[in-house]
Structure 1
Amino acid sequence: MDLDVLNMFVIAGGTLAIPILAFVASFLLWPSALIKIYYWYWRRALGMQVRYVNYDDYQFCYSYRGRPGHRPSILMLHGFSAHKDMWLSVVKFLPKNLHLICVDLPGHEGTTRSSLDDYSIYGQVKRIHQFVECVNLNRKPFHLVGTSMGGNVAGVYAAQYPADICSLTLVCPAGLPHATESKFVKQLQELKVSGVSDRIPLIPTTPEEMGDMLKLCSYVRFKVPQQILQGLVDVRIPHNDFYRKLFLEIAGEKSRNSLYDNMSKIKAATQVVWGKQDQVLDVSGADILAKSIPNCQVHILENCGHSVVVERPRKTAKLLLEFLATVQNGENNKKLA
């Protein structure tokens, strides 16, 4: 074989081997870095751009796609200990001409974390309103979406700032009393009785606890490699003290039933989506909301747990778009009447 040809094959082989070896090394040695690269890649692939905005000395981090148009903008609020990128699986199935904003809630990811901040649901609602004003999102009413803790924040926001909201989607929202205790609530009670009060199933500290949390939150059983579980734990451990403080705050008397206390004040068209097999927040909460909010649309998803956004992203996007179209048609009919 010609020496130049041989050199070409060696160079080509080496060029291919470098990224492969880098991937294998990251997977085995630095899985947390691989997870961050994964989110970075999908943000770019979906056209989501990350930006920062300040309210006085407080910084908000958010991602967005599209520009405000004739259709309402959509603001998406994530759940406890998550971040703005948890919505990427849903964003994938939404039209690119929709104006979407996913913001990190107070203390999460790129948004300011301060020991002096009020992390109760009411405190978070106040901060999100500051963010909305910073980015001029309330120049005209927008659609607000929230899941779990973010659903609690979204519902209370809609009740306290009705002029900002044209419609509301709550996905397995927290902040409601439940006649039926969920598996998660029972676990907390058992841990308290056994004297392990500092152990919270939603705040894992080992790969095994991470796996248990995923099983608790999802009906679908994802096969997650040990290295990825380790990476997920590694990413979270530096924030676990904050998560414990936050959990105690939102589970406390001031915030525990804040959505329930405010739901009668919600005037915007409302959609509720809940996984029937939710083991964190019992699905009976959907009926509570339906009875209190006029013309509330309720969708119970079979074979789905608490992580609706991750388990059923295509269905979530479909339901959201159908609901927005219904609300828009209703507004058009009012104008013609």
Structure 2
Amino acid sequence: MELQIKERNGFNYVDEGAGEVLLLLHGLFGALSNWEDVVREFSPDYRVIIPLLPIYDMPLTKAGVPGLMNYVEDFLVAIQQTEPVTLLGNSLGGHVALVYALHNPARVRRLVLTGSSGLFEDSMGGSFPKRGNYAFVQERVGYTFYDPTLATKDLVDEVFDVTNSNAKCLRIISIARSAQRHNLSKDLTRISVPTLLVWGLNDTITPPPVAHEFHRLIAGSELRFLDHCGHAPMMERPREFNAYLRQFLHRTTRQPAPVAA
């Protein structure tokens, strides 16, 4: 499925389907394509929206988790989305989703986090890609997955191109440091919407103990693990991820009030 990018008021995004909104947020080195299987599965029943987060070109003074959260706020105003949304976030996108939910509790219907930062993350294997070293970048992109062959040449090329831009690298470093500073351990008890956590058992960036800590701190949250899966379950185990997501959406759908006789 080839995702069609739309533009409105300076925002670039995917917008497929109709109905209740699922808003998908990608990670630091993520892209719209990370969510292709989710769009394919859910756009017949939901309106699936994916903003392209301005990670590589936002003003350096705003390059951080709060700046990205403000971008999501402005984006939803720009597309005139006033009803509460279900927020799905992977890695940094999960972190931004959490901060958005904490600042806008009435605008969030549900949360789905997968490999989310916000408590602990070992991004890119503990170091940033070395400029000009393709083999190093290939190794670190592979670190995202349980099966490193999923680090396709297109993915590696994209990250390699980013690491060869000083301006983009500065923003990546600023955002990564912001994510580390904005630890949410003291705030997560305020999350009250239904929350699903889907984690790879083989995630080495936000390891399983991180998922357990999210589960402990977010009251009533559901935790599901996928074996033979790394940091991006919606890409590496899309069928199982989508099954857990669909079950969660059905289980937490508000039933209409009965009509009085």
Bin the TM-score by the shorter chain.
0.7 to 0.9
Counterpart in the other structure of 1:273: 198
State whether residues 111 and 193 of structure 2, in contact with CA within 8 Å, keep that contact through their aligned partners in structure 1.
yes
1:93 counterpart (41, 53, 60)? 41
Please tell me whether residue 107 in structure 1 is matched to residue 55 in structure 2.
Answer: yes
Q: Report the 3-state secondary structure (helix = DSSP H, G, I; strand = E; otherwise coil) of the residue aligned with 1:80.
A: coil
Please tell me whether residue 213 in structure 1 is matched to residue 140 in structure 2.
Answer: yes
Counterpart in the other structure of 2:177: 251
Counterpart in the other structure of 1:20: none
Q: Report the 3-state secondary structure (helix = DSSP H, G, I; strand = E; otherwise coil) of the residue aligned with 1:322.
A: helix
Q: Report the 3-state secondary structure (helix = DSSP H, G, I; strand = E; otherwise coil) of the residue aligned with 1:316.
A: helix
Q: 1:164-179 to 2 correspondence within 5 Å? A: 164-177=107-120
1:307 counterpart (232, 243, 257)? 232
Consecutive unaligned residues of structure 1, counting only runs of 5 or more, are 1-41, 189-198
Counterpart in the other structure of 1:66: 17
Cα shift at 1:160: 1.0
State whether residues 63 and 174 of structure 2, in contact with CA within 8 Å, keep that contact through their aligned partners in structure 1.
no
Structure 1: how far apart are the matches of 2:161 and 2:191? 36
Q: Report the 3-state secondary structure (helix = DSSP H, G, I; strand = E; otherwise coil) of the residue aligned with 2:38.
A: helix
Cα shift at 1:223: 6.7
State whether residues 277 and 302 of structure 1, in contact with CA within 8 Å, keep that contact through their aligned partners in structure 2.
yes
Please tell me whether residue 126 in structure 1 is matched to residue 54 in structure 2.
Answer: no
Q: 1:205 to 1:162 in 2, by over 3 A?
A: farther
State whether residues 200 and 208 of structure 2, in contact with CA within 8 Å, keep that contact through their aligned partners in structure 1.
yes
Please tell me whether residue 144 in structure 1 is matched to residue 87 in structure 2.
Answer: yes
Deviations 1:254-273 (A, max 9, x none): 75343334312211110011
Structure 2: how far apart are the matches of 1:233 and 1:92? 25
Q: 1:117 to 1:105 in 2, by over 3 A?
A: farther
Q: Report the 3-state secondary structure (helix = DSSP H, G, I; strand = E; otherwise coil) of the residue aligned with 1:85.
A: helix
Q: Percent identity?
A: 24
Q: 1:114 to 1:92 in 2, by over 3 A?
A: closer
Structure 2: how far apart are the matches of 1:144 and 1:106? 18
Structure 1: how far apart are the matches of 2:67 and 2:155? 32
State whether residues 25 and 90 of structure 2, in contact with CA within 8 Å, keep that contact through their aligned partners in structure 1.
yes
Deviations 1:74-131 (A, max 9, x none): 00000002222221133233342320001111234xxxx2435412211211110111
1:155 counterpart (83, 98, 111)? 98
Aligned residues: 259
Q: For 2:177, give the aligned amino acid.
A: A
State whether residues 91 and 317 of structure 1, in contact with CA within 8 Å, keep that contact through their aligned partners in structure 2.
no
Structure 1: how far apart are the matches of 2:12 and 2:68? 14
Cα shift at 1:229: 7.0
Cα shift at 1:246: 2.7
Structure 1: how far apart are the matches of 2:246 and 2:219? 20
Deviations 1:128-179 (A, max 9, x none): 0111111122x2211100000000000111111011111010011001047x
| Larger radius of gyration between Structure 1 and Structure 2 | 1
Cα shift at 1:247: 2.8
What TM-score, normalized by structure 1, do the two folds share?
0.69
Richer in helix (by share): 1
Q: 1:271 to 1:204 in 2, by over 3 A?
A: farther
Cα shift at 1:325: 0.4
Q: For 2:145, give the aligned amino acid.
A: S
Structure 2: how far apart are the matches of 1:146 and 1:286? 14
Q: 1:159 to 1:136 in 2, by over 3 A?
A: same
Structure 1: how far apart are the matches of 2:159 and 2:83? 40
Q: 1:326 to 1:96 in 2, by over 3 A?
A: same
Counterpart in the other structure of 1:195: none
Q: 1:223 to 1:85 in 2, by over 3 A?
A: closer
Q: 1:304 to 1:238 in 2, by over 3 A?
A: same
Cα RMSD, aligned residues only: 2.7
Q: For 1:121, give the aligned amino acid.
A: V
